[in-house]
Each structure stands twice: as structure tokens, then as C-alpha cells.
């Protein structure tokens, strides 16, 4: 195989900060190579350097045999290169139609008119955009913008495709369609692709990948290799008495997470047999059911970072318990604290929120999920009384928020997406400021000040300015500030976006603690589908409507009843395997890197059939897994069935 | 080196974007017209209709006749009589009036007795230029009155005719004719001159925003990552703004003719060519600015200040270049505004044409090339951050 891109000890600094340090990687032609890591990992920097649009000081980058070291040499490879920068549709021209956008990119790239015509028709067809050709780009949905971006980047048939976070903030169906489209085009045109993502669950989509964090590569290879190199196990326990079990589990295992009605424990150093023994002792009577679940890149990422920085504060739920019990508000856990009743919001002719109903009880973490633009923030604004609804009503603790008094609004905690803190003030100054805004003073303010520092583990950072805190700590401070007046209801709008997996895990631990011990009703929005697992119940929004509303467990169980389990096969020639299966009547065969996936009610028998069929065509199967449907699968199913209902 | 097809693609896309963005599009045309009208009427240097009040302590036929000389003048706006100078103090302080004319008691007696009578003028000295103009007008009117007194005295005593007296008293008479601007209407000069200021600021701002907007959204990466050459990009960006600005400068020239009623005496073809090079050089300045900044706010501020200050101070609009300090003269020559001002005034007011001003055209063209090349040299497709 030929080498398409070679990066050798690449390094780049922006003024004083080091963006990327000593990164080396090789991309073979024809593969889909992934850069995976949270914000600030250096993915964009590396991609821009490979694209020849960013100068760098250290290392060497070679693309198709051309060393990229000057504007002139970079120019020589740009003909063969398609680059889509970060930000959904931001590189497109909002006032131009789909057709005009494509024509501009084609003319810019000197695509001959006769080729352009057929190529455009083909790409539009694959993207499913043919019938919207004359629509202005600014009026497209997030998913459509993303596909148009891809079409524009592909119009000149580049040999190397570089896409910077193409799937961030789009809905699960668009995400799946995007990967299908990309797989098809890469296969048909023999392209090489370098793609970055912040979603760890997308790792399986790549042939090979580099896992990055703070400018460094943590590990490289196929997702399977990386997982094999860091052996560990993950057990999910379903229990009705999770709160009782937690202390014992925390003592016995390294990683314990409370996810809705589930507890997930994991370990890397510990042998799984020993883990089973310890678990057996804790569960004893055994009314709980537990099962192994496949370990993902997210867990490995956290494990690798834990090894690097041993001083990361390990927070224990029990730690602050005594101090909280005093402050716990006595509320019946069946109290509905937040209720949305047929909420509707129209902006001119556009309906942003369409008859949304749900309720959130005290002590519950409720997830409001959806892509960017699905209407999540608008719902929150109506529930907090910032925005009057066009129809329906939002209630907090029984009060209609459109008409309620200021004092009720003050009993809400609200943390917005960004900038709720004053970045030039220190941690302590921020806390005091928010405290005084909510009318605290004297001893009371001091007490609450200490509480915020404690819950956010910020004791050491008292005098650091909020702006210089890492995102994870900054979000914990913002959370603390939103809680300074002890609200019973907490609204969190995308609290974890831009936070790395460790920071996210810490953040969720605090939320679980708040819900469990203080009986706070928490409504949280997110576009990380992985985070949905943390919620007791959730609502998935798609284009202003709620398309799924239940607990994660029930949602998955329902899908399992409907469609069965997931059969995942690692095969030698995935593209071929996919088309063979499709032509033999298997529906919804999806491609994940070197694996094909399909749903089946009888995975064992179907597995055998498929294996025979593929072996017949000379395709090797190296691994077979039977997986439970994920929430992502649920969401895709729900969105699609809501589409077909409308159609 | 430049692929015209690519340039056309870039320019057409830019034009479509401006055209579809109705707010931006209307701003592009409304801004210059508003700026021209506001500054044109606001920046008048004409000292006309200066409000004033008379304090007449004498109240005689003579004093009334003397007063009439002032109240009937088109330069002054008579606001009435006051009983004492005290009363006028607040009026001057509030700038309701600009000066007070005080006629002392015994004004008529003194004149009749052949004594010297003193008149007092209290002028608001805050604006020195206007104050000295007022004082000049007052002296002239006063002189006129003196001459009239002398004439009637001489006629009465010598029995000569008015003509003979005139010839004897002022043997040399001065006939003044103002060239190019016969009525000395400052709006003719400032009104036409403002075209160079407005059409320096507005193309520069539009073009700078046009590029920086793409930097802010990230669509500039489409250019960075493509095979488009630097010259193609700069030229493609420039052309739509040159077109818009050319339409604008033509509108402003018509405004100068219709609203400010300036005459047009020179060669039209010269003006049309000069306008094109001038707005092109201004837009190129904007593109050059855009290569230094990253945000739209910075682009707007820098391109506006960077053109407005030299446009006002070193163009010859406010002060003739010849009377500037040596450094200012150098700055004036290093900017296209001065050359275009000479062309505009030459074509509108002086009746000049190609034979007098061809060299200015050449220089303007030179500026276009200079700024265009600098922008190309400054623009990089492989950047530091």
C-alpha cells in the first residue's frame, strides 16, 4: 500500500501555548484515518498543517511525496486535496443556494463544465440534496449543511480528503448518513480521508486512528488494537438499590459510575475473575442482574490520562455527604418540579419548538437531547421564563413561568452554554459576585462560598482567574455559581461541550450527587449522545419535536424487542462484504471501519448464515460480536420512524 | 499568472453575496450618500447669516441709518434690539447670537459736531476663523458708511457731482473677481471635495469587511486550501467593491451638481477615468488593511480611521497643500486623495481636462498598482495561526 500522508515529529506553537507536540503518523492511501480527542487536543492544528494552510516550526509533513515546507510546495498538493474546516457549514456561503455554492467550489477548483454537470448530479443524489438545489444554504438544517459541505469539498475529486469535526452537533441520523455517504465515496473513488472527531464513540468508524490529548498522541492504531493494548473490563449492574450499593462498590473498584438506574464499574489493572468475585460478595442475595459491556475508547482515554496525571483528584461520593445532609431540602422524590405542557414556540413562520411535553421529578437527572438547532435551548428559555411560549406552558414547582414573579425565577439555578462566568475575576470573586446577586451576605455567603469550592474541588484555585482554568474546572465553577442560592431546580444548557472526557466524568459525578442527595431536579441538554446514558430519563428532540421520551433502559429494551440485537463482524474486505450482504437481502447493513453491522432477532443463526455467505465469496471473518442496541441506535430508529410518520 | 475564469468566479460569488445580503447592500449605497449630505451641509465655511443683536443707546435717525447698513446685509441675521449690553450676555453665551453691535449715546451728536464717534462690536471669539471673518465684514460695512458720510460732506461743501467726489476721494478702485467659484460659495468646493473623502472611506471599509468576514466565518479556508493564486483572490475580491464604489462615486458627482448646485466645467472623460482609478485604489487600501486584522470590528475601525484622517488632513480639502508643514506635504503626496482632489476641482470648477491633469491620472493608476501589489504580497495562503 502507498503512503498518502506522513507526519514526522510535528510540533506547532501559538505564541506561548504549545498546540501540538511531537506527533508522528502515517496514513496509507485508501484508508479513513481518524484523529480523535476533546477540544484543544491539537486536531485542527494538525489537519491545517497537513492541508498546507498553516505554517509550523517542528517536524516534517509529506503529502503524496511532496514535502510541505513552503507556500509553493503546499500549493502543489492543493489540487489533490479537499479540506473542510471546523464548524458546521461555516465555510459555505449562507446567501448562496446549494447549486451556487457547489458551482463556486467547482469553478474555484477549475472543474470543467461538462464534468461538473455529471459530478454535481451524482454527489447531490448521494447526499439526498437533489430536490433542494435552489434553497439558500442559510435555510438548511444542520445535517444538510454538513452534507453540502462534504459535496463542495469533494466536487473536484480530491485524492485526499481532510474533514475537521464534520459530525459535531448534528443529529444521529445525519451522522449515520454522513458516514454512509463518506464510505461510499471513499470506496468508489479510492480516496484517502483524514477525519477528526470529539466523539469517542465514532472511533469504530475509522480504519486507523490517533487518540489525541493536549497536543500529544495517547495511542495509535485500529480501535481494536488500542482496546486490546489496554485490557480492561466493564460491567453494568441494574439495581433498584443503587444508592445502598455505591459505597461498597466504590471501595472495591477503581471506576464506579452511576448512570441513571444503572451502575457501571470498570477496571484495567484488576483481573475480571477477581472483579466477579468481589461483585458477587457485594451483591450477595443476587436480585441484581449484571452483564459485561464492551469497553470503549472513552474509558481507555480516561484510563490513559489517569495514568499520566496521578494527582487528578479522585472524588468520592461519600466525602461530602455529612455536610450536605443538613442542607438537603425535604422533598418527596415523586414531586414534579419541572413540567412542560405542549410548549410551542414560533419565530415568524418557523416553528422552533412544536408541542413539547415532559416532566422532571425531584432528584431526577433529565436529559434533553438533540442536534444543534433541534430546539433544546428554546425549550429551556421558555421553562425559565426568559422567552414567552407561543403556545402551551412551562411550570417550575407548579408555577407558570410565563406569568410567575421574579422571586420564583430566582429559585431556579441556570447555567448557560458559555460565558456565564466573569473570566477576568478570580474563582473567589466569581463566587462572591453570584452570591451577592442572589442576595446572600455575611456568614451565609461565606458558608455557601465554601460549599461551592468544595463541590467543585476548587479549594486550591481560589485566587486563580476563571479565564485561566481548564474547561472542566471552569464548568464546575459555573455549576457551583448556579447553585449558590440552593435552588431546587437546575437547568444546564450544554454544560459539558468542549470539556474532555475526564472533566465530563467529574461533572456528571457532581450532578448525580446533587440529584441523589439534595433532591435537585436537573434538566440538562447535550449533543453528546454518550451522555444520554447518565440520565434517569430523557427526551430526544428532532426539529422541534420530542421523538423519544423514556428511560435509557426502556428505550433500549423496546428497540431490542423490535429489531433484535446487533451483529458486528470484523471482515477482511468490509466494502465488499457490505455490498454482498445488501444484495442478499439483508437490510440496514452499516459499515464501521473494518466491521459490518446489522440488526437481527436471532443473531446466532443469522451470524452463521452471514459467515457462510461471506466465506463463500472469499471474505475472511476475523471477529464476531453480538451487542446490545445502543442509545444511538434507538435515536436513529426514533428519528426515522418520526420522519416516515410525517411522510 | 492569473486565470481570468477564477477571478470571475470569485468576483461573481462576492457580488451575489453582497446583493443577497440586503442590509449590507443597502448600507453600501446609503452610507456614502448620507455621509456626503451630512458633511456637505455641516462643513460649510461660509460666514453668512450670522445672528446678531444691536444695542442702540442713541436711538436717533443717524444710529438707525447706521444700524440699517448691518441689518440689510446678507452676511448677518438681525435678531432684534436689546436695551443694554447686559441683556445680550446670556444670548452670546448660549451662542444664540455671534456678536453684538453697541451704538453709544451721543452717536448722532458727535457725528453732527464733527467729532469721532465710537461703535463697539462684541464678537464671540470661540471660533477664531468665523470671528475674524465677522470682524472683517463689520470693518467693511463701517468703512462704507464712513465713505458715504464723507461723500455727502464733500458734495455739500464743494458743490461737485457725486462722480467727481468719488474720483477724488478714492482715486483707485479695486475690482475683485473670484475665479472658478465666482460667488465664493464654499459648498461648491467642499461639496465636490467631499467626494474624495467619502469615496476613500467607504470603498476601503467595504472591501476590508468583505475579506475579514470570510476570515471570521472560516470560509477563507476554501481559498487557503485551493489552488487559487494570491493575485486571483485579491483581484476577485476587489472587483465587486470597485464596481459598487464606481456607482457610488458617480451618484455623489451627480449629487454635487444637483444638491450642491456646483458647476461642471471640465472634461467628463477625465473625471470618469480618474473616478475609476481612485475608487480602485481606495478599495485596494481596504484589502490591504484586511491582511493585517482578524475581526470585522478591527477592520472597520482601522480602515475608517486609516482613510479618514489622511482624507481630511492631508488631501488639501481643509487646507491647501502648499501651506502645510514639510512633513504634511510629504504625507499628502503619499496618498491618492490629493491627486483626486485636484482632478475633481479641476474638472468641476476650473474647467480643466486631460492636458492639465493627465499626470494625476497616471499617479492614481500607480496607487492602484501599488496597493494591489502590496495586498498580494501581504496575503498568504499558508498562515501562522
**Residue B282, C-alpha cell as written in the block:** 481606495
B377 touches chain A (CB under 8 A): no
From A14, A54, A86, residue closest to B382, measured CB to CB: A54
- The DSSP symbol for A130 reads G
* Least Cα separation, residue A18 to chain B (angstroms): 12
Domain boundary among A525, A551, A577: A551
User: CA of A447: how far to CAs of A197, A431, A432, A589, B352, in Å?
Assistant: 42, 11, 11, 57, 83
B235 touches chain A (CB under 8 A): no
Q: Is the dihedral of CA A189, A195, A200, A203 positive or negative?
A: positive
Pairing state between β A521-526 and A365-370: parallel
* Least Cα separation, residue A450 to chain B (angstroms): 40
B178 lies in a domain? no
From A14, A71, A79, residue closest to B381, measured CB to CB: A71
pLDDT of A408 higher than 80: no
B222 touches chain A (CB under 8 A): yes
Average pLDDT over residues A4-19: 91
Chain B residues touching A81 at Cβ < 8 A: 225
A443 and A403: one domain? yes
pLDDT of A454 higher than 80: yes
Q: Note whether A108 contacts B3, CB cutoff 8 Å.
A: no
DSSP assignment of A552-604: HHHHHHHHHHHH-EEEEEEESSHHHHHHHHHHTT--S-EEETTEEEEEESSHH
Q: Note whether B218 contacts A75, CB cutoff 8 Å.
A: no
How does residue B75 score in pLDDT terms, banded at 50, 70 and 90? confident
At B10 the pLDDT is 94
Pairing state between β A521-526 and A208-213: unpaired
Query: Which among B2, B221, B231, B294 is the top mutation candidate for probing chain A, defined by the most A β-carbons within 10 Å of its own β-carbon?
Result: B221
A330 lies in a domain? yes
A183 and A72: one domain? yes
Q: Note whether B21 contacts A53, CB cutoff 8 Å.
A: no
* Least Cα separation, residue B184 to chain A (angstroms): 50
B225 and B90: one domain? no
**Residues with Cβ < 8 Å from B157, sequence gap 6 or more?**
none
B253 and B335: one domain? yes
**Residues with Cβ < 8 Å from B269, sequence gap 6 or more?**
B354
A158 and A186: one domain? yes
CATH code assigned at A566: 3.30.70.270
At A286 the pLDDT is 66
B64 alpha-carbon distance from chain centroid: 39
How does residue B215 score in pLDDT terms, banded at 50, 70 and 90? very high
A 449-478: CB under 8 A from B? none
A154 and A298: one domain? no
Average pLDDT over residues B287-292: 95
Euclidean distance between CA atoms A536 and A387, whole angstroms: 27
DSSP H helix total and E strand total for chain B:
15, 4
A366 and A391: one domain? yes
Pairing state between β A3-14 and A58-63: antiparallel
Task: Return the minimum-mean-pLDDT range out of A414-423, A497-506, A602-611.
Answer: A414-423
User: CA of A438: how far to CAs of A224, A329, A406, A429, B176, in Å?
Assistant: 51, 18, 12, 14, 78
pLDDT of A503 higher than 90: no
**Residue B208, C-alpha cell as written in the block:** 476590508
Q: Note whether A91 contacts B221, CB cutoff 8 Å.
A: yes
A373 lies in a domain? yes
B38 and B56: one domain? no
Euclidean distance between CA atoms B98 and B339, whole angstroms: 37
A532 lies in a domain? yes
Q: Note whether B6 contacts A108, CB cutoff 8 Å.
A: yes
Euclidean distance between CA atoms A452 and A583, whole angstroms: 60
* SS3 (DSSP) at A255: strand
Alpha helices by DSSP H, listed for B122-179, are 128-158, 162-169
Q: Note whether B221 contacts A104, CB cutoff 8 Å.
A: no
pLDDT in tens, A212-268: 998 999 999 998 889 888 888 888 888 777 777 888 888 888 788 888 778 888 888
A 91-150: CB under 8 A from B? 91-93, 95-96, 100, 104-105, 107-110, 136
A257 and A209: one domain? no
Euclidean distance between CA atoms A168 and A43, whole angstroms: 13
CATH code assigned at B76: 3.40.1710.10
**Residue B308, C-alpha cell as written in the block:** 479618514
Average pLDDT over residues A530-540: 88
B354 and B214: one domain? yes
Q: Note whether A55 contacts B384, CB cutoff 8 Å.
A: yes
How does residue A324 score in pLDDT terms, banded at 50, 70 and 90? very low
Average pLDDT over residues A344-370: 90
Domain boundary among A315, A336, A357: A315
B223 lies in a domain? yes
B174 lies in a domain? no
From B3, B5, B225, residue closest to A78, measured CB to CB: B225
Q: Note whether A104 contacts B383, CB cutoff 8 Å.
A: no
Chain B residues touching A75 at Cβ < 8 A: 227, 381
pLDDT of B326 higher than 70: yes
At A322 the pLDDT is 39
B118 touches chain A (CB under 8 A): no
- The DSSP symbol for A426 reads B
A422 touches chain B (CB under 8 A): no
pLDDT of B106 higher than 80: yes
B241 lies in a domain? yes
A427 and A488: one domain? yes
B152 and B203: one domain? no
Q: Is the dihedral of CA A180, A183, A189, A193 positive or negative?
A: positive
A43 and A116: one domain? yes
Euclidean distance between CA atoms A424 and A412, whole angstroms: 25
A79 touches chain B (CB under 8 A): yes
Q: Note whether A85 contacts B218, CB cutoff 8 Å.
A: yes
A307 lies in a domain? yes
Give the residue on A whose Cα is nearest the Cα of B229.
A75
B175 lies in a domain? no
Euclidean distance between CA atoms B324 and B310, whole angstroms: 13
Average pLDDT over residues B31-39: 92
B218 touches chain A (CB under 8 A): yes
Q: Note whether A110 contacts B5, CB cutoff 8 Å.
A: yes
B94 touches chain A (CB under 8 A): no
B31 and B67: one domain? no
How does residue A325 score in pLDDT terms, banded at 50, 70 and 90? very low
B226 touches chain A (CB under 8 A): yes
Give the residue on A whose Cα is nearest the Cα of B383.
A54
Longest CA span, chain B: 98
A500 lies in a domain? yes
A320 lies in a domain? no
pLDDT of B135 higher than 70: yes
A424 and A545: one domain? yes
Specify the residue for cell string 479537499.
A82
B189 lies in a domain? yes
B78 and B217: one domain? no
* Least Cα separation, residue A69 to chain B (angstroms): 10
Give the residue on A whose Cα is nearest the Cα of B222.
A91
pLDDT in tens, A276-291: 888 888 887 767 778 8
Average pLDDT over residues B369-379: 96
Query: Which residue from A550, A525, A553 is spatially nearest to A630, judged by alpha carbons?
Result: A553
Domain total in chain B:
2
B85 lies in a domain? yes
At A253 the pLDDT is 84
pLDDT of A333 higher than 80: no
- What is the ipTM metric for this complex? 0.81
Query: Which residue from B184, B196, B180, B247 is spatially nearest to B36, judged by alpha carbons?
Result: B196
B383 touches chain A (CB under 8 A): yes
A53 touches chain B (CB under 8 A): yes
Q: Note whether B16 contacts A100, CB cutoff 8 Å.
A: yes
**Residue A494, C-alpha cell as written in the block:** 450544554
| Domain membership of residue A19 as a residue range | 3-221
A370-385 burial, b at 16+ Cβ within 10 Å, e below that, comes to bbbbbbbbbbbbbbbb
Is the separation of the CB atoms in B186 and B344 below 8 Å? no
A27 and A175: one domain? yes
Chain A residues touching B376 at Cβ < 8 A: none
A41 lies in a domain? yes
CATH code assigned at A255: 3.30.70.250
B61 touches chain A (CB under 8 A): no
pLDDT in tens, B145-191: 888 888 888 888 888 888 888 888 788 888 888 888 777 777 888 88
At A10 the pLDDT is 95
From B9, B20, B218, residue closest to A107, measured CB to CB: B9
B217 and B364: one domain? yes
Chain A residues touching B20 at Cβ < 8 A: 95-96, 136
User: How many C-beta neighbours within 10 Å does residue B338 have?
Assistant: 23
B2 touches chain A (CB under 8 A): no
B384 lies in a domain? no
Chain B residues touching A80 at Cβ < 8 A: none
Is the separation of the CB atoms in A119 and A141 below 8 Å? no
Give the residue on B whose Cα is nearest the Cα of A57.
B384
Domain boundary among A151, A186, A221: A221
**Residues with Cβ < 8 Å from A245, sequence gap 6 or more?**
A237, A239, A263, A282, A283, A288
* SS3 (DSSP) at A368: strand
Based on its alpha-carbon atoms, the radius of gyration of chain B, rounded to whole angstroms, reads 29
A160 and A105: one domain? yes
- The DSSP symbol for A622 reads E
Domain total in chain A:
4
| Domain membership of residue B283 as a residue range | 4-43+185-378
B233 and B369: one domain? yes
B291 and B255: one domain? yes
B361 and B266: one domain? yes
Is the separation of the CB atoms in A532 and A369 below 8 Å? yes
B38 and B76: one domain? no
Average pLDDT over residues B350-362: 93
Chain A residues touching B5 at Cβ < 8 A: 107, 110
pLDDT of A331 higher than 50: no
Average pLDDT over residues B280-300: 95
A374 and A292: one domain? no
Chain A residues touching B224 at Cβ < 8 A: 51-53, 83
Phi and psi torsions of A265, nearest 5°: -120, 150
A83 touches chain B (CB under 8 A): yes
At A457 the pLDDT is 87
Chain B residues touching A48 at Cβ < 8 A: 221
From A70, A75, A86, residue closest to B227, measured CB to CB: A75
Amino acid at each position: 500500500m502507498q503512503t498518502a500522508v506522513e507526519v514526522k515529529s510535528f510540533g506547532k506553537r501559538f505564541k506561548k501555548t504549545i498546540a501540538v507536540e511531537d506527533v508522528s503518523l502515517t496514513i496509507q492511501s485508501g484508508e479513513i484515518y481518524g484523529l480523535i480527542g476533546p477540544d484543544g487536543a491539537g486536531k485542527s492544528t494538525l489537519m491545517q498543517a497537513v492541508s498546507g494552510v498553516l505554517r509550523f516550526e517542528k517536524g516534517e509533513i509529506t503529502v503524496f511525496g511532496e514535502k510541505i515546507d513552503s507556500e509553493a510546495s503546499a500549493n502543489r498538493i492543493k489540487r489533490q486535496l479537499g479540506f473542510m474546516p471546523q464548524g458546521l457549514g461555516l465555510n459555505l456561503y449562507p446567501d448562496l443556494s446549494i447549486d451556487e455554492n457547489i458551482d463556486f467550489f467547482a469553478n474555484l477548483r477549475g472543474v470543467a463544465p461538462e464534468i461538473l454537470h455529471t459530478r454535481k448530479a451524482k454527489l447531490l443524489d448521494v447526499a439526498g440534496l437533489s430536490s433542494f438545489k435552489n434553497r439558500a444554504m442559510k435555510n438548511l438544517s444542520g445535517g444538510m449543511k454538513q452534507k453540502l459541505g462534504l459535496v463542495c469539498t469533494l466536487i473536484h475529486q480530491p485524492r485526499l480528503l481532510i474533514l475537521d469535526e464534520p459530525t459535531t452537533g448534528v443529529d444521529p441520523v445525519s451522522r449515520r448518513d454522513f458516514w454512509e455517504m463518506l464510505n461510499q465515496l471513499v470506496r468508489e473513488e479510492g480516496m484517502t480521508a483524514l477525519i477528526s472527531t470529539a466523539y469517542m464513540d465514532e472511533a469504530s468508524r475509522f480504519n486507523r486512528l490517533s487518540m489525541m490529548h493536549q497536543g500529544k498522541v495517547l495511542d495509535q492504531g485500529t480501535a481494536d488494537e488500542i482496546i486490546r493494548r489496554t485490557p480492561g473490563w466493564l460491567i453494568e449492574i441494574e439495581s433498584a438499590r443503587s444508592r445502598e450499593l455505591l459505597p461498597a462498590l466504590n471501595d472495591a473498584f477503581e471506576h464506579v459510575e452511576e448512570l441513571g438506574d444503572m451502575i457501571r464499574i470498570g477496571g484495567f489493572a484488576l483481573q475480571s475473575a477477581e472483579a466477579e468475585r468481589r461483585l458477587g460478595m457485594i451483591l450477595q442475595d443476587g436480585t441484581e442482574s449484571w452483564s459485561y459491556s464492551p469497553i470503549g475508547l472513552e474509558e481507555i482515554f480516561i484510563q490513559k490520562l489517569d495514568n499520566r496525571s496521578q494527582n487528578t483528584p479522585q472524588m468520592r461520593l461519600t466525602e461530602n455527604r455529612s455536610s450536605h445532609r443538613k442542607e438537603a431540602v425535604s422533598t418527596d422524590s415523586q414531586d414534579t418540579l419541572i413540567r412542560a405542557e405542549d410548549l410551542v414556540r414560533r419565530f415568524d413562520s418557523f416553528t422552533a419548538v412544536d408541542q413539547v411535553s415532559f416532566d422532571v421529578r425531584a432528584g431526577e437527572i433529565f436529559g434533553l437531547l438533540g442536534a444543534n438547532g433541534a430546539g433544546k435551548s428554546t425549550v429551556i428559555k421558555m421553562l425559565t421564563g426568559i422567552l414567552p411560549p407561543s403556545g402551551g406552558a412551562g411550570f417550575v414547582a407548579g408555577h407558570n413561568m410565563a406569568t410567575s414573579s421574579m422571586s420564583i425565577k430566582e429559585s431556579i439555578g441556570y447555567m448557560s452554554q458559555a460565558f456565564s462566568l466573569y473570566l477576568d475575576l478570580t474563582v473567589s470573586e466569581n463566587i462572591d459576585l453570584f452570591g451577592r446577586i442572589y442576595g446572600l451576605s455575611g456568614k451565609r455567603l461565606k458558608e455557601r462560598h465554601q460549599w461551592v469550592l468544595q463541590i467543585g474541588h476548587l479549594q486550591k484555585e481560589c485566587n486563580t482567574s476563571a479565564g485561566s482554568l481548564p474547561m472542566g474546572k471552569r464548568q464546575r465553577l459555573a455549576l457551583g455559581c448556579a447553585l449558590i442560592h440552593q435552588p431546587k431546580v437546575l437547568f444546564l444548557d450544554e454544560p459539558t461541550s468542549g470539556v474532555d472526557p475526564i472533566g465530563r466524568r467529574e461533572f456528571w459525578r457532581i450532578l448525580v450527587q446533587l440529584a441523589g442527595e439534595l433532591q435537585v431536579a436537573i434538566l440538562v441538554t447535550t449533543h453528546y449522545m454518550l451522555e444520554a446514558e447518565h440520565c434517569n430519563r430523557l427526551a430526544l428532540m428532532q426539529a422541534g419535536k420530542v421523538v423519544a421520551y423514556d428511560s435509557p433502559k426502556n428505550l433500549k429494551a423496546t428497540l431490542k424487542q423490535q429489531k433484535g440485537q446487533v451483529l458486528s463482524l470484523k471482515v477482511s474486505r468490509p466494502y465488499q462484504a457490505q455490498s454482498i450482504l445488501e444484495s442478499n437481502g439483508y437490510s440496514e447493513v452499516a459499515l464501521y471501519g473494518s466491521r459490518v453491522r446489522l440488526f437481527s432477532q436471532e443473531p446466532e443463526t443469522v451470524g452463521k448464515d452471514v459467515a457462510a455467505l461471506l466465506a463463500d465469496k472469499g471474505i475472511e471473518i476475523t471477529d464476531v460480536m453480538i451487542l446490545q442496541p445502543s442509545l444511538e441506535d434507538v435515536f436513529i430508529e426514533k428519528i426515522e420512524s418520526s420522519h416516515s410518520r410525517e411522510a | 499568472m492569473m486565470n481570468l475564469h477564477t477571478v470571475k468566479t470569485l468576483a461573481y460569488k462576492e457580488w451575489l453575496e453582497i446583493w443577497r445580503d440586503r442590509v449590507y447592500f443597502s448600507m453600501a449605497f446609503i452610507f456614502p450618500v448620507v455621509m456626503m449630505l451630512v458633511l456637505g451641509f455641516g462643513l460649510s465655511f461660509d460666514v453668512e447669516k450670522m445672528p446678531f443683536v444691536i444695542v442702540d443707546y442713541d436711538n436717533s435717525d443717524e444710529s438707525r441709518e447706521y444700524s440699517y447698513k448691518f441689518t440689510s446685509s446678507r452676511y448677518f441675521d438681525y435678531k432684534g434690539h436689546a436695551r443694554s449690553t447686559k441683556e445680550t450676555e446670556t444670548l452670546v453665551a448660549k451662542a444664540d447670537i455671534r456678536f453684538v453691535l453697541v451704538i453709544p449715546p451721543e452717536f448722532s451728536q458727535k457725528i453732527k459736531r464733527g467729532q469721532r464717534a465710537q461703535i463697539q462690536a462684541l464678537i464671540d471669539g470661540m471660533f477664531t476663523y468665523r470671528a475674524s471673518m465677522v470682524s472683517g465684514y463689520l470693518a467693511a460695512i463701517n468703512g462704507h458708511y464712513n465713505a458715504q458720510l464723507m461723500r455727502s460732506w464733500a458734495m455739500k461743501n464743494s458743490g461737485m457731482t457725486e462722480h467727481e467726489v468719488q474720483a477724488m476721494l478714492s482715486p483707485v478702485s479695486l475690482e475683485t473677481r473670484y475665479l472658478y467659484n465666482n460667488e465664493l460659495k464654499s459648498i461648491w468646493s467642499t461639496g465636490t471635495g467631499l467626494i474624495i473623502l467619502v469615496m476613500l472611506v467607504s470603498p476601503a471599509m467595504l472591501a476590508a469587511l468583505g475579506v475579514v468576514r470570510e476570515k471570521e466565518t472560516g470560509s477563507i479556508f476554501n481559498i487557503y486550501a485551493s489552488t487559487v493564486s494570491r493575485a486571483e483572490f485579491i483581484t476577485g475580491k476587489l472587483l465587486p467593491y470597485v464596481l459598487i464604489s464606481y456607482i457610488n462615486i458617480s451618484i455623489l458627482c451627480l449629487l454635487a451638481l444637483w444638491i450642491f448646485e456646483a458647476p461642471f466645467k471640465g472634461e467628463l472623460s477625465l473625471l470618469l477615468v480618474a473616478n475609476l482609478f481612485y475608487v480602485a485604489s481606495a478599495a485596494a487600501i481596504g484589502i490591504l488593511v484586511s491582511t493585517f486584522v482578524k475581526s470585522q470590528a478591527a477592520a472597520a475601525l482601522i480602515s475608517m480611521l486609516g482613510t479618514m484622517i489622511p482624507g481630511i488632513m492631508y488631501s488639501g480639502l481643509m487646507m491647501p497643500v502648499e501651506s502645510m508643514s514639510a512633513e504634511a506635504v510629504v504625507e499628502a503626496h503619499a496618498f491618492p486623495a490629493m491627486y483626486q482632489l485636484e482632478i475633481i476641482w479641476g474638472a468641476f470648477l476650473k474647467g480643466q481636462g486631460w492636458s492639465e491633469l493627465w499626470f494625476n491620472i497616471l499617479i492614481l493608476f500607480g496607487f492602484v498598482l501599488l496597493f494591489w501589489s502590496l495586498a498580494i504580497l501581504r496575503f498568504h495562503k499558508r498562515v501562522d495561526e
